[in-house]
A and B are shown apart, each in its own frame.
Chain A
Amino acid sequence: MERALTSFVRALRAAGARVSTAEAIDAARTVALVGYGDRAVLKNALGITLAKTEGEKSIHDALFELYFSRQSEAAAAEQHEEESAERSGDERETPPGDDEDALDYDVDKLMALAQAGGGAAAAAMERAAAAAQVENIRFATQAPYYVRRMLKALGVEKLEHQIVQRLEEHTPAAEALAQKMIEAQSRLQKMARKLVDQHFEVYGRRATESFQNDVIAGRAITELDMYDMERVKTVVNRLAKRLADRHSRRQRLKDRGKLDVRKTIRASAGYDGVPFDVFWKIKKRDRPKIVAVCDVSGSVARYVRFLLMLLYALNERVADLRSFAFSSKLSEVGDIMEQQDVEPAMNTILRTAGGGSTDYGQALLDLTENYTNLVDRRTTILILGDGRSNHTNPRLDLFRDLSDQAKRVIWLCPEPPGLWGSGDSVLPQYRPFCASVTHCATIADIERAIDDILLAYD
C-alpha cells in the first residue's frame, strides 16, 4: 500500500494542494502509526498531516473518498484475481504484477468486463484513466474527450469494429451478438464517464473556479451582470482578504539611530544609574483613515457598488472608514453599508442620495459644512466619480482646502483618460490637487487603488 500513499500525495498536488516532501514523509509515518484498517481514522489522520488550510482540507476529503474507496476496491479485485488464478493451476504464465499496465483488452475480455462490472472492471477503468491521463482534466467540456481516450486505451475500437462487421452480416444471430456488444460498449462508456466526472470534481472544479474568478476580477465592470453577483462577492471577499493580509502587519520599525534619552535615563534609575535597558525611538505608523466620496449618478453608480463592497469587506483592516454618496446633495452611507447586505444597501443608497443632477460643488460644500473635523492629516480622501458636474461651479477653493488638510486625495474615474475634460467634465481642474487620478474599469483596478492607499500607511 506504500504505492497507494505516494500516488495519493501526487493526486493531492495535482488537485492544487501544496504537499511538501517532508509532509509526505509525515504522512507515511502517520500511516505506519494508525494503519489502513480504519478508514475514518485514516482520513482524519491524513487530513491532519497533509492539508494545512480549509481549502486543502476540502480537496483532501473529496480526494480521499474518491481515491481510497477505489484503491481498496481495485486492490481487492486484483487480489481476488490472483487467488482464482492460483486455484486454476497457474494458467497465467506472467506474474499478475507485470500484467498490471497491459491494457488494450481483446473483445471477449471487454465483454466479460462490461458484464461483470464490480472490482475487476473498476481496476481496469482505473488503469485506463491513468493511461489516458484523466487527472489533467480542467474543464467540464473536456469530459467526452477523456472518455474517448479511456475507451481507446481499453481497446474498445476493436469491439466497435466487430459491431460493424456483425451488423453487416445481416443474420439474426449476428445481429443479436452485435446488440450485446453495443450494450457492453455503452456500459463501458458509462463507467468511463462516471470516473471522468469524478476526476473532474477533484481536479477540474478548482481550476475552473479560479479561472472564472480571475476573469471576473479583470472584466470591465460595465460588462458584469446580475448573474455574476454571487461570484463577484466571493472574488471581492478574496481580494479583501488578500489586501488585509498584505497590510496587516504594522511593522514596528525601530529607528535604530536615535536613542530615546529620556526613557533610557528613567529606566536606568532602577539600576543605580547604569543604563541596562536602552530604549530607541520608535517610528509611529498611522492607522489608515479613509473618507470615500462616491458619485452615485446613473453612469457611475455600478462602480460605487464594487468600491463600497471592497472597502467594507476590509473593515477589519480599515477601522476608520467614512463613506458618502452624492448626486446633487451629499449624505453619509456608512451605517447603511454596515447594517445591510450589499443589494438592499445599494438600493437604499441610490434612493437617498441618487436622483437629481450631479453637482460636485454642492457635494463639496455639504462635506465641508456638515462634517467639520472629518479630515485630518492622516486621512486619505478617495473620490469615485466621472467629474461631470453639469456646468455648475466646481468649488475648486473648497477642494483645495480639503486637499491641504488631508494626507492624500485619490480620484478614481470610470471614464478612460481620453474623455477627461470633454464636455462638462471638470476633472482636469481638480486634478492638480489630487495625489493621483486613475482610470478604473475593473474590480482589479479598484483593488489596486486601495492597495496603493494602504501602502502609504505601512
Chain B
Amino acid sequence: MKPFPTPKAFESIEAITDALASAGYISTPAISTAIYLAYHLRKPVLVEGPAGVGKTDLAQSLARALSFPLARLQCYEGLDETKALYEWKYGKQLLYTQILKEKIHDLIEKTDSLEASLDKLGGFRDIFFSREFLEPRPLLKAMEQSGGSILLVDEVDKSDEEFEALLLEILSDYQVTVPEIGTISAQVPPLVILTSNNLRELGDALKRRCLHLHIGFPEPERERRIVRARVPGITEDLLTQLVAFVQRTRNEKIRKLPSISETVDWARTLVLLHADSLDAKMVQETLGVLLKRQGDIAEVSGKVEQLVVEALADATGAG
C-alpha cells in the first residue's frame, strides 16, 4: 500500500464540515468527527438512525464534496457474493470457447505429437479465468479505485447473516479473494459507510469492527439550515415556523415521525403554493406530505390549529 496524501478535506474535523457544506450537506460535530476518524483510523462507519435523516445522503454528499467515485451496494435478503463482489462473464467466456474451437486446429497443426500440442497450449495464459472475464460488482469496484473512493453499503440490516460474514474480510483487510486469480487488495482503502435502519440486530463481530454513528432527528437550528440549503426561495418567516411545527409534531403520539426528508418535501410544497407564513388551513391541506400514515394524519389533523399556534409562538421566540 503506497502512501496516499491526505486530501485537504480530511485534514481536520472542521475541514470535513466545510467540505460537506459545500456539497449541500449540513453536518454536526458528531458526523464530521465520525468521518474524520473513519479516514484516519481506516475503519468503516456504521450509521444508524430513523429513515430519512440523511444516512445515505451523507455518503453521496461526501463523494460529491471530494469528487470521489461512489460505489453503492443496496442490501436485500438473499444478496450474495455474485452480486456484491464479482461475477464471471459467462457469455463472453462461452463466446471465446467457440472461437477457440475454430482456431485450435490452426494452432496445433504444426505439432505432430499429443505432448507437443499440450506444451504449445500450456504456453498460453489461463485466459478463461483472468481479469478480462471478471465482472466487478460494487465491493470489488471500490477496491480497484486507485484515487480513493467511497463505498456505501446501504441498509446492511436487510442482508443475511452470511453476507455479513463476507463483509468482515473486506472491511478489515480491504481485500477480496478470488480463488482463480488470487487476492486483490485495495491500492487506497475506500472510505466505507454502512447504513442500517435497525430492522434486525447486526452481528456483534461486524459492529465491533465499525465506528458507530447515530444520526437522530435534527435540532431546530440544524433543521433550519438544512431546509434553507435544500429549498432556495423559502422566506425566513415560513422557514422558522415550518421547522417549529415539525419539531412540535415529533412530540405527538404518532407511528412514523416526520424526518428531515419529509420536512424538505413539505417546505418545497409550501413554496410551490406561494406561502409566506404558516396557517392552519394550508397545514391541514398539505399534511399528507409530512405524515405518511392515515392514522398519524388523523391524530395530528385534529390538533393542527393548536400546533400552529404553538409553532408560531416558538418561531417568534427563535427568530
Q: Are B77 and A271 in contact (CB-based, < 8 A)?
A: no
Asked if A249 is an interface residue, CB under 8 A from chain B, the answer is: yes
Chain A: CB-nearest residue to B210 = A52
- Point out the residue from B33, B37, B212 that lies within 8 Å of A51, measured CB to CB: B212
Chain B: CB-nearest residue to A272 = B94
Contact (A49, B211) CB under 8 Å given A29-B41, A30-B37, A272-B94: yes
Q: Note all chain A residues with C-beta closer than 8 A to B94.
A: 271-272, 274, 276
Q: Are A245 and B37 in contact (CB-based, < 8 A)?
A: no
- Point out the residue from B37, B90, B200 that lies within 8 Å of A49, measured CB to CB: B37
Chain B: CB-nearest residue to A47 = B30
Bound Cα distance from A49 to B36, whole angstroms? 12
Distance to closest chain A CB from B40 (angstroms): 5
Asked if B57 is an interface residue, CB under 8 A from chain A, the answer is: no
Interface size on B, residues (CB 8 A): 33
Can you name 12 A-B residue pairings with CB atoms under 8 Å?
Answer: A26-B41, A30-B37, A30-B41, A33-B37, A34-B37, A41-B13, A44-B30, A44-B33, A44-B34, A53-B207, A270-B91, A339-B295
Q: Note all chain A residues with C-beta closer than 8 A to B160.
A: 249, 251-252
Q: Are A276 and B90 in contact (CB-based, < 8 A)?
A: yes
Interface residues of B (CB under 8 A from A): 13, 29-30, 33-34, 36-37, 40-41, 43, 45-46, 77-78, 90-91, 94, 160-161, 199-201, 204, 207-214, 253, 295
Asked if A57 is an interface residue, CB under 8 A from chain B, the answer is: yes
Chain A: CB-nearest residue to B216 = A54
Q: Note all chain A residues with C-beta closer than 8 A to B30.
A: 44, 47-48
- Point out the residue from A18, A44, A249, A277 that lies within 8 Å of B200, measured CB to CB: A249
Contact (A33, B214) CB under 8 Å given A44-B30, A45-B33, A248-B200: no
Q: Note all chain B residues with C-beta closer than 8 A to A226.
A: none
Interface residues of A (CB under 8 A from B): 18, 20, 22-23, 26, 29-30, 33-34, 40-41, 44-45, 47-49, 51-54, 57, 244-245, 248-252, 270-272, 274, 276-277, 338-339, 341
Chain A: CB-nearest residue to B299 = A339
Distance to closest chain A CB from B20 (angstroms): 15
Q: Note all chain B residues with C-beta closer than 8 A to A53.
A: 207, 212
Distance to closest chain A CB from B62 (angstroms): 16
Q: Are A248 and B212 in contact (CB-based, < 8 A)?
A: no
Q: Are A245 and B200 in contact (CB-based, < 8 A)?
A: yes
Contact (A54, B41) CB under 8 Å given A249-B160, A249-B200, A339-B295: no
Q: Note all chain B residues with C-beta closer than 8 A to A44.
A: 29-30, 33-34
Q: Note all chain B residues with C-beta closer than 8 A to A341.
A: 253
Q: Are B40 and A33 in contact (CB-based, < 8 A)?
A: yes
Q: Are A48 and B212 in contact (CB-based, < 8 A)?
A: yes
- Point out the residue from B43, B90, B201 that lies within 8 Å of A245, measured CB to CB: B201
Q: Note all chain B residues with C-beta closer than 8 A to A244.
A: 200
Q: Note all chain B residues with C-beta closer than 8 A to A22.
A: 208-209
Q: Are A26 and B43 in contact (CB-based, < 8 A)?
A: yes
Bound Cα distance from A228 to B253, whole angstroms? 21
Q: Are A23 and B41 in contact (CB-based, < 8 A)?
A: no
Chain B: CB-nearest residue to A241 = B201
Chain B: CB-nearest residue to A251 = B160
Q: Are B78 and A252 in contact (CB-based, < 8 A)?
A: yes
Q: Are A271 and B199 in contact (CB-based, < 8 A)?
A: no
Q: Are A271 and B34 in contact (CB-based, < 8 A)?
A: no
Known: A52-B207, A57-B212, A248-B200. 5 other contacts (CB 8 A): A26-B211, A44-B30, A245-B201, A249-B200, A252-B77
Bound Cα distance from A413 to B174, whole angstroms? 56
Bound Cα distance from A33 to B40, whole angstroms? 8
Distance to closest chain A CB from B138 (angstroms): 21
Bound Cα distance from A244 to B199, whole angstroms? 9
Q: Are A48 and B90 in contact (CB-based, < 8 A)?
A: no
- Point out the residue from A33, A251, A271 that lies within 8 Å of B41, measured CB to CB: A33
Bound Cα distance from A394 to B45, whole angstroms? 60
Q: Note all chain A residues with C-beta closer than 8 A to B204.
A: 18
Q: Are A250 and B91 in contact (CB-based, < 8 A)?
A: no
Chain B: CB-nearest residue to A50 = B212
Distance to closest chain A CB from B23 (angstroms): 21
Bound Cα distance from A270 to B295, whole angstroms? 50
- Point out the residue from A23, A34, A47 that lies within 8 Å of B208, measured CB to CB: A23
Bound Cα distance from A115 to B201, whole angstroms? 52
Bound Cα distance from A271 to B212, whole angstroms? 46
Q: Note all chain A residues with C-beta closer than 8 A to B91.
A: 270-271
Q: Note all chain A residues with C-beta closer than 8 A to B41.
A: 26, 29-30, 33, 49
Bound Cα distance from A33 to B214, whole angstroms? 21
Bound Cα distance from A277 to B93, whole angstroms? 13
Q: Note all chain B residues with C-beta closer than 8 A to A30.
A: 37, 41
Q: Are A48 and B34 in contact (CB-based, < 8 A)?
A: yes
Q: Are B199 and A248 in contact (CB-based, < 8 A)?
A: yes
Chain B: CB-nearest residue to A245 = B201
Distance to closest chain A CB from B194 (angstroms): 12
Distance to closest chain B CB from A46 (angstroms): 10
Q: Are A271 and B90 in contact (CB-based, < 8 A)?
A: yes
Q: Note all chain B residues with C-beta closer than 8 A to A20.
A: 208
Distance to closest chain B CB from A165 (angstroms): 57
Bound Cα distance from A245 to B91, whole angstroms? 41
Q: Are A48 and B211 in contact (CB-based, < 8 A)?
A: yes
Q: What 8 A-B pairs are tightest by C-beta distance, nearest first?
A: A44-B33, A52-B212, A248-B200, A52-B207, A276-B90, A44-B30, A48-B34, A48-B211
Distance to closest chain B CB from A436 (angstroms): 28
Q: Note all chain B residues with C-beta closer than 8 A to A57.
A: 212, 214
Which of B33, B94, B199, B209 has the most C-beta atoms of chain A within 10 angstroms of its own C-beta?
B33
Distance to closest chain B CB from A51 (angstroms): 6
Q: Are A54 and B214 in contact (CB-based, < 8 A)?
A: yes
Q: Note all chain B residues with C-beta closer than 8 A to A52.
A: 46, 207-208, 210, 212
Distance to closest chain B CB from A319 (angstroms): 14
Bound Cα distance from A22 to B43, whole angstroms? 12
Q: Note all chain B residues with C-beta closer than 8 A to A338.
A: 295
Bound Cα distance from A248 to B161, whole angstroms? 11
Q: Are B33 and A48 in contact (CB-based, < 8 A)?
A: yes
Bound Cα distance from A376 to B200, whole angstroms? 29
Chain A: CB-nearest residue to B28 = A44
Q: Note all chain B residues with C-beta closer than 8 A to A29.
A: 41
Q: Are B37 and A250 in contact (CB-based, < 8 A)?
A: no
Which of A18, A44, A339 has the most C-beta atoms of chain B within 10 angstroms of its own C-beta?
A44
Bound Cα distance from A49 to B77, whole angstroms? 28
Bound Cα distance from A276 to B92, whole angstroms? 12
Distance to closest chain A CB from B315 (angstroms): 28
Q: Note all chain A residues with C-beta closer than 8 A to B212.
A: 48-49, 51-53, 57
Bound Cα distance from A458 to B30, whole angstroms? 39
Bound Cα distance from A249 to B29, whole angstroms? 35
Distance to closest chain A CB from B29 (angstroms): 6
